[in-house]
């Protein structure tokens, strides 16, 4: 790993100028759609941050904090450099909610080896708002209105659902997705096709990330992952109680399984035409 400490105020200023010249905050995309589109956070609660519309104030504070603290290595537009990875296509970003996972990564031992940074959780929230807004901007799927959504071909969407899209391997329009077209309006439905919310209600969400913790001695313990860093791991057991371990050099071992992984994969590969077609198809499943 390249070790480089970040210290130089002149460089910060230079990067700030560069970033604001090259990466304007996406508050007013061409086409006249404002930042206050109808897609809010998913009704169920914590989704990945990717499709959440953040407050423009947070995005613009985030750009400043990003530019000062991260751009030197991750690039002015977060697309990565020779020294540090792309944060737009990062799976950490994909799994991040409001800067929590990004913050944990930056505070983790591996990242501290590259850069010692002390940002508050509010600053990580802002930085994440900026990064997530860049993700939305890059995917061209930011503010979606009903008229833009239901432009697909329902028949082609049905074929995709049952065929190439492999949706049928997990879903059925007469089973779990019965009545889905009546349950959500078009933008909410499209959002769920791309990325269902992580939590669906109280208690242990069915689609939480599942962790198996294998302590140095004793049998493996399974539960819903609440937090894992280089230093500790916390899970929620089936009975609702929490259990935590301190970690040292990867012990205890933590393995995770994510029932929404298919949707993360869908999110990065789904073509806009397939997305529109499958949404039009499901909108008709009443
Ligand atoms: C001195 C260079 C440097 C700076 C400054 C820096 N990073 Fe990094 N970052 C790295 C390197 C190198 C890696 C890859 C190795 C690792 O994961 O530790 C990385 C990895 C990451 C990852 C994991 C990406 C992935 O997909 O695995 C995230 C997230 C991240 N950085 C966020 C940030 C944020 C946010 C900031 C600013 C608050 C920041 N970094 C500042 C060098 C830097
Ligand atoms: C490997 C399994 C898997 C595949 C493949 C998959 N999904 Fe999902 N999908 C899930 C899981 C898990 C959920 C979350 C279920 C929950 O929260 O109750 C979900 C949720 C959804 C929801 C939200 C349902 C609701 O009631 O809110 C929709 C819509 C959806 N998926 C559509 C699709 C479409 C369209 C495809 C194909 C392009 C697809 N899914 C492929 C596993 C999958």
pLDDT (tens digit per residue) in 225-282: 888 888 889 998 988 899 999 999 889 999 988 777 787 777 667 787 888 899 999 9
Over range 94-101, report the average pLDDT. 90
Q: Which of 75, 108, 109 is nearest to 89 (CA)?
A: 75
- Residue at 81 is within a domain: yes
Domain tally for the chain?
A: 3
Determine which residue's CA is closest to atom 43 belonging to ligand 1. Answer: 73
Q: Which residues contact 224 (CB under 8 A, 6 or more apart)?
A: 204, 205, 208, 209, 210, 211, 235, 236
The model scores a pTM over 0.75: no
pLDDT of residue 196: 76
The span from the CA of 56 to the CA of 58, in Å, is 5
**How many angstroms is it from 280 CA to the middle of ligand 1?**
39
- Residue at 3 is within a domain: no
Does any ligand 2 atom lie closer than 6 A to the CB of residue 196? Answer: yes
Name the residue range of residue 235's domain.
Answer: 210-257
Does any ligand 2 atom lie closer than 6 A to the CB of residue 259? Answer: yes
pLDDT of residue 43: 31
Shared domain for 87 and 100, answered yes or no, is yes
Question: In this structure, what CATH number is given to the domain that contains residue 66?
Answer: 1.10.760.10
Determine which residue's CA is closest to atom 18 belonging to ligand 1. Answer: 111
**How many angstroms is it from 115 CA to the middle of ligand 1?**
8
Determine which residue's CA is closest to atom 32 belonging to ligand 2. Answer: 193
**How many angstroms is it from 222 CA to the middle of ligand 2?**
23
Q: Which ligand is nearest to the CA of 103?
A: 1
**How many angstroms is it from 111 CA to the middle of ligand 1?**
6
């Amino acid at each position: 790993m390249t070790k480089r400490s970040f210290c130089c105020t002149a460089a910060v200023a230079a990067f700030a100028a560069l970033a604001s010249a090259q990466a304007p905050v996406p508050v007013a995309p061409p086409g006249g759609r404002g930042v206050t589109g109808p897609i809010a956070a998913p009704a169920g609660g914590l989704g990945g941050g990717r499709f959440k519309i953040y407050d423009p104030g947070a995005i613009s504070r985030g750009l400043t904090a990003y530019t000062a603290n991260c751009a030197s290595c991750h690039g002015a537009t977060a697309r990565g450099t020779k020294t540090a990875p792309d944060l737009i296509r990062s799976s950490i970003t994909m799994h991040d909610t409001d800067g929590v996972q990004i913050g944990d990564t930056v505070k983790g031992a591996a990242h501290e080896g590259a850069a010692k940074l002390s940002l508050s959780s509010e600053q990580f929230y802002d930085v994440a708002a900026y990064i997530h807004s860049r993700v939305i901007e890059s995917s061209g799927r930011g503010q979606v209105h009903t008229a833009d959504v239901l432009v697909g071909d329902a028949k082609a969407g049905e074929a995709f659902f049952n065929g190439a899209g492999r949706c049928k391997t997990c879903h059925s329009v007469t089973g779990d997705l019965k009545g889905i077209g009546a349950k959500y309006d078009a933008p909410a439905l499209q959002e769920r096709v791309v990325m269902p919310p992580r939590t669906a209600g109280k208690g242990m969400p069915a689609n939480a990330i599942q962790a198996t913790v294998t302590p140095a001695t004793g049998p493996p313990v399974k539960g819903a992952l609440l937090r894992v860093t280089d230093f500790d791991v916390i899970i929620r057991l089936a009975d609702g109680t929490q259990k935590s371990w301190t970690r040292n050099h990867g012990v205890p071992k933590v393995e995770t399984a994510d029932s929404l992984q298919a949707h993360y994969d869908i999110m990065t590969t789904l073509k806009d035409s397939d997305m529109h077609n499958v949404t039009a198809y499901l909108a008709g499943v009443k």
